[in-house]
Amino acid sequence: MIETKAYAAQNETTPLAPWTFDRREVGANDVQFDITYCGVCHSDLHQIKNDWFPGIFPMVPGHEIVGQVVKVGSHVTKFKVGDIAGTGCMVNSCRVCENCKQDLEQYCLKGSSQTYNGVEQDGKTPTYGGYSNTIVVNEDFVLHISDKLHLAAVAPLLCAGITTYSPLKHWKVGKGHKLAVLGLGGLGHMAVKFGVAFGAEVTVLSTSPKKEEDAKKLGAHHFVVTTDPAQLEAAKGTFDFILDTVSAPHDFNMYLGLLRTNGIHICVGVPPEPAQIEAFSLLGGRKSLAGSGIGGIAETQEMLDYCAANNIVSDIEIIDIKDIQAAYDRMVKGDVRYRFVIDMATL
């Protein structure tokens, strides 16, 4: 076994603290890489707090993981020692269901193995994430990371990046489309960057007027303060797509009113309570309410390669692991521009 240092939550009420556990030895098809940086996703805090479902404790969060390969199994062909590698939200899937065969492992019909707060495909072995010094992953769920970009700023691409890239690619959002990005946070700022790069006319929808300057710096063409009735009225019926990154309760019906006929409201944020959707909000204009979750491994690699070719990374603030609780407090307040990344050398 491989002794591994980490920060873990022992239950839903205790703060993260140092913890040591054993990872499996490197198998024939496994890659071990020492973790250099790990992004801090809002879902880390949700899962520690059991906001969505009962967690598996002790819990080592982190699914935006980058580092350097230190060992490969005897059958590994895709990686060698010294390579820069990454792992996102999944570490395995069944490989044989209809979705897995279509490179949609994130929708594995038998259940993909989440990078943390999940179980391996044996259905019983807990998974532990990237708030740790090393990780062992099957090579098919390890991603190649370019050395052209700042490694710390690449880490959030493995969740925030692919979560916004995938729906924009699926619905073929691009030139000639008016895209609204709802919320300017970890997900939203990546949605703006991708939307602009794909050629769409991008508007940021936000309750916070002070974010307009940032939105424009990120490349957004327009900004709408959704608490301003005049601005909201002017935006009605104008967007082809809304990419909704908000995880707080909000009025879906109001935003559906901003879509054009045949417009699509795509949810990637996860509010804590079910939404109340009025049928007329959809019927009046043949509108659609859709959702999207991360992306498959092939698409995630495509996204990483696209980012390397187009110099796209996340806007980050690097923190020490000992400051993770303070970072969580700031994240809840929206006091981060726009993703915390842990320097794992501080573990």
Positive or negative torsion for Cα 124, 129, 132, 137: positive
CA dihedral 191, 196, 198, 202 (to 10 degrees): 80
Query: Shortest CA distance to 303 belongs to which of 183, 197, 214, 189?
Result: 197
Q: Which CATH number fits domain 2-159+313-346: 1.20.120.80, 3.40.50.11540, 3.40.50.1220, 3.90.180.10?
A: 3.90.180.10
pLDDT of residue 272: 83
Among candidates 2, 22, 8, 42, which has minimal Cα distance to 117? Answer: 8
Q: At what angle do helices 160-170 and 297-310 cross, to 10 degrees?
A: 100
Domain boundaries, the chain: 2-159+313-346, 161-291
pTM, two decimals, is: 0.96
Reduced to 3 states (helix: H, G, I; strand: E, B; else coil), residue 42 is helix
| Amino acid found at 254 | M
Rounded CA-CA distance 106/99 in Å is 8
Q: Decide: 237 and 259 in contact? Cβ < 8 Å.
A: yes
pLDDT tens by residue, the chain, 347 residues: 999 999 999 999 999 999 999 999 999 999 999 999 999 999 999 999 998 899 999 999 999 999 999 999 999 999 999 999 999 999 999 999 999 999 999 999 999 999 999 999 999 999 999 999 999 999 999 999 999 999 999 999 999 999 999 999 999 999 999 999 999 999 999 999 999 999 999 999 999 999 999 999 999 999 999 999 999 999 999 999 999 999 889 999 999 999 999 999 999 999 888 999 999 999 999 999 999 999 999 999 999 999 999 999 999 999 999 999 999 999 988 899 999 999 999 99
Name residue 339's beta-bridge partners.
316
Contacts 24+ apart (CB under 8 A), 344-347: 344/35, 344/36, 344/37, 344/38, 344/67, 344/130, 344/131, 344/132, 344/133, 345/36, 346/320, 346/321, 346/322, 347/5, 347/6, 347/7, 347/131, 347/132, 347/133, 347/321
Residue pair 315/339 in contact by the 8 Å Cβ criterion:
yes
Helix runs in 128-268, H state only: 151-154, 160-170, 186-197, 212-217, 229-235, 252-256
What kind of architecture, by CATH, is found in domain 161-291? Answer: 3-Layer(aba) Sandwich (3.40)
Which has the closest alpha carbon to 66: 83, 84, 40? Answer: 84
Nearest to 337 by CA among 154, 203, 186, 149: 186
Cβ contact 86:65 at 8 Å:
yes
Q: Residue 191: name the closest of 218, 171, 210 by CA.
A: 218
| Contact indicator for 248, 271 with CB cutoff of 8 Å | yes
Distance CA 217, CA 170 (A): 26
Q: For residue 336, how far is the Cα from the chain centroid?
A: 16
Contacts (Cβ under 8 Å, ≥6 apart) of 13: none
Query: For residues 215 and 202, what is the distance between their CA atoms, to the nearest angstrom?
Result: 10
CB-CB contact of 72 with 31 (8 Å)? yes
For 131, the enclosing helix (H) or strand (E) is none
CB of 85 closer than 8 Å to CB of 106: no
